[in-house]
Structure formats: structure tokens, C-alpha cells
Amino acid sequence: MEPKRFMTLQRHILEGERQHPEATGELSALLSELALAAKVISLEVNKAGLIDILGFTGDTNVQGEAVKKLDIYAHNTIVSAMDHGGHLCLMASEEEEDIIHIPKHHKLGKYVMMFDPLDGSSNIDANVSIGTIFSILKRKSPEGTPGTLEDALQPGVEQVAAGYIVYGSSTIFVYTAGHGVHAFTLDPAVGEFLLSHENIHTPEDARIYSTNEGNYKYWHKGLKNYIKYIQDADDRGATPYSARYIGSMVADIHRNLLYGGIFIYPADKRHPNGKLRLLYECNPMAFLYEQAGGRAIDGKQRILEIQPHKLHQRVPIYIGSKNAVDMVEKFLREAEEEGED
């Protein structure tokens, strides 16, 4: 078995950039700053359980109330790690209503980053894997000026890099810069993200479906027809699907990316736009999945082609193995053509 190259995240990004003469090294510096923030967040997430058990807070208050909520902590860690590197002109976070400007005394860069600092954080008390999701674009507004909302409201096809960090039994940094999907596992002993999965290709066929079936009665008919179709797979002599849904998007997506699966958070009769956010949840996951050979749609169009109108805009999402997304798209289209609701 060929030994894994001692390939760090930073070296991998730099080598990737060197293959593109126009690259300036700014993107690799930006991703390295994010990787540092991820290491700090990973430390805090992994001791979160202790806050309740041992009262270990790092603050005076043993009750733990004084300890910042982990998602605020993650948000603050990312902002403070990245607002002075000189590579960003703007940030946007799930935790902030408005765009986040770069402090006046810092150099303004050519990139914009949108992120969900700690998606699924409501699961932390149950020790469920959670994650940071990020999306990086090039600014459209003039260099040297403060970034604008329009810099953030670009369709997903404009992303130059995207990915997530999943804080689970290991901390894994998964990213794409448009040249394949690569994963790096944090080795806490050396404090480095080391290449663990190069050029991830998601299986064309799914054997896992991930959705909150508690919302079944509110689903539109096309989705009900699709779920029934896959649940009857063995009647057709096909391999039955497994239902796997942990309620943490990064954990569900990471498992499905590696094993093959489809993740669905649909529009339904209560939520006409679904629940998940376009700019810092659906777009980055869609970019990553398409780079890994999968697909991501809102039910009608590519997620990456949706023109955003609002910073925290929600969209329905069907994302996963190509053949599975093709199939659900067919059921949704047929139900609409037959006027079924």
C-alpha cells in the first residue's frame, strides 16, 4: 500500500495554485487562515462536553452561562482570524444580520467569504458531529473600496473555493478550489491538517437517503412519490436504501459524499423556501458536490445558478449522487405536469 504523502492542507493548496500562473497565493493564504480558525474551534468544540460535566468553563462562572455559546464563539474566532489578513473585503455570517465590513485600518483584499460558523450546533449537547461551512467569491466592486452587499449576492457559479470543516470523531477539512474535492484530517499531535482523501468522487448511485420524514404530511406530492419509489426498491429487485438523518447538515452531507446518498431539505406547505440558506449552506455544498461528480438542485434548477436577492435567503435543496438527483427531479417534474400538489 503506497504510504500517504505527508501532504498538509497548506502545501496542497499552494501546489494547486502553482499549477495556475495567474494565481497570486492569496487564496492559499486565506484558506490557511481559515484552517487556523478551524483548529481553534475544534479545540473548543471537543471540550464542550466538559463545560457541563466538570464545570470547566475557562471563566469564573461554573454554571457555564458565562461561556459564550459555541456558535457565537466559532463566529468570533473566524472573524478575528480573518479580518486582518488583507485578503477579504467583506464577510457574511449566519450569526450576523448584515454584511461584516473589514476594520478601516486593515488592507482590503479581493475576496468575499460567507460562512455558517457552526452549523448544527443545537446537536452539540448530544455529541453529534457539527461543522463550519464556507463559500469564497471574488469581489465585483472596485479594488481598495469597502465590500458591498452586491459582492455577497453573487450566484454560486462564481465561487472560487468552498467547503466545510466537520468536527466529529476527527476534525476534517474538506474543500474544493474548482479542481476536485480533497479532505484533510487534523492530526492533533502535530496540529496539522494532513491529506486523507484526495480527489473525492461521490458514487453515482445513492443507497442512503437523508431527510426529515417528520415533515411528511407537509411535503408536495412529487417528493412523496419519490420517497415511496425508493422505499419500494427491493420490490424491483434493487438494493434497498437506508434512511440516515442526523439533523446536522455537515455530518449528513459528509457521510453521503463518501458513501453515496441524497440529502433533501425540500420546500413544503409550511416552508415555501425550505430551511437551509443559499449563500453559506447550499451554494458551498453544491459547488463541492458538483466537483465530486454529484448534483444539487432546488427542485427545478441548479443551486449554483440561483441569483441571490437576500443575504440569508432560504432555498429548497436536493443534493447528492447524480442518478438519485436525476430521479427525484423526474418525480417532481411529473407531479407538477400532472397538477398534483
CB closer to ligand P6P out of 128 and 195: 128
CB closer to ligand P6P out of 24 and 122: 122
Alpha helices in 19-69 (DSSP H): 26-46, 48-53
DSSP state letters, 124-179: GGGT--EEEEEEEEE--SPTTS---HHHH---GGGEEEEEEEEESSSEEEEEESSS
CB closer to ligand P6P out of 122 and 242: 122
CB closer to ligand P6P out of 207 and 254: 254
CB closer to ligand P6P out of 13 and 162: 162
**Residues lying near ligand P6P in the complex (CB under 6 A):** 119-120, 122, 212, 247-249, 275
The CB-of-323 to ligand P6P minimum distance in angstroms stands at 22
The CB-of-284 to ligand P6P minimum distance in angstroms stands at 13
The CB-of-120 to ligand P6P minimum distance in angstroms stands at 4
The CB-of-61 to ligand P6P minimum distance in angstroms stands at 27
CB closer to ligand P6P out of 27 and 206: 206
Alpha carbon distance 24, 43 (integer Å): 31
Supply 2's cell numbers: 503506497
204 three-class SS: coil
The b-or-e profile of 131-163 (16+ CB within 10 A means b, else e) is bbbbbbbebebeeeeebbeebbbbbbeebbbbb
Alpha carbon distance 335, 328 (integer Å): 11
The CB-of-247 to ligand P6P minimum distance in angstroms stands at 4
Q: Which residues touch 338 (CB under 8 Å, ≥6 apart)?
A: none
The CB-of-116 to ligand P6P minimum distance in angstroms stands at 8
Alpha carbon distance 233, 240 (integer Å): 5
Scanning the structure block, which residue is given the C-alpha cell 435567503? 313
The CB-of-89 to ligand P6P minimum distance in angstroms stands at 27
CB closer to ligand P6P out of 146 and 247: 247
